[in-house]
């Protein structure tokens, strides 16, 4: 019988504690006066617009091939590769497709030329590009 009383007393104490905790949790509080300082917040967003800069081609090598052709010197000017997107314009050691390729230009890439002859331009560094694929303004 002692054990039964102890268990009953323990349950009763737990119930009283639970009721007491509930009363604390539900305790009504009076509003208090609070002072809050506010300041104006300014947000600045900077948007950077990417720009495209065309690189100018300069040959990665010095031209070691002797080329004999009759060239017409022209005032140095910048021209742009006008090939289909995804295609490349070959830069060669001489003014024909039989000469070794030394590099390529992509659509819109700039190159400086100084002479012309027989459908080819000579670049400032002594390489050659077909004039069929060069234009005066960058292609769209």
Mean local confidence (pLDDT), 20-40: 58
- CB atoms < 10 A from the CB of 95, how many? 23
Q: Is the pTM of this model over 0.75?
A: no
Distance from C-alpha of 140 to C-alpha of 133, rounded to nearest angstrom: 14
Model confidence band, residue 54 (pLDDT cutoffs 50, 70, 90): very low
Using the Cα atoms of residue 103, residue 107, residue 112 and residue 113 in order, give the sign of their dihedral. Answer: positive
Beta strand pairing call for 134-135 and 56-57: unpaired
Residue partners of 129: CB distance under 8 A and separation at least 6: 89, 90, 91, 92, 105, 111, 113, 120, 121, 123
Domain extents in the chain: 56-135
CATH topology assigned to domain 56-135: SH3 type barrels. (2.30.30)
Write the burial class of residue 91 (CB in 10 Å: 0-12 exposed, 13-18 middle, 19+ buried): buried
pLDDT per position as a tens digit, 77-105: 999 999 998 899 999 999 999 999 999 99
């Amino acid at each position: 019988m002692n054990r039964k009383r102890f268990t009953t007393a323990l349950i009763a104490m737990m119930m009283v504690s639970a009721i007491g905790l509930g009363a604390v949790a539900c305790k009504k509080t009076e509003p208090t006066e609070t002072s809050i300082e506010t300041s104006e917040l300014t947000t600045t967003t900077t948007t950077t617009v990417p720009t495209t800069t065309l690189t100018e081609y300069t040959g990665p090598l010095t031209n070691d091939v002797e080329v004999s052709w009759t060239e017409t010197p022209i005032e140095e000017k910048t021209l742009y590769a006008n090939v289909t997107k995804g295609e490349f314009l070959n830069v060669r050691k001489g003014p024909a497709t039989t000469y070794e390729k030394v590099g390529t230009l992509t659509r819109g890439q700039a190159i400086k030329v100084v002479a012309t002859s027989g459908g080819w331009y000579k670049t400032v560094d002594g390489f050659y590009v077909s004039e069929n694929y060069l234009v005066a303004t960058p292609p769209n």
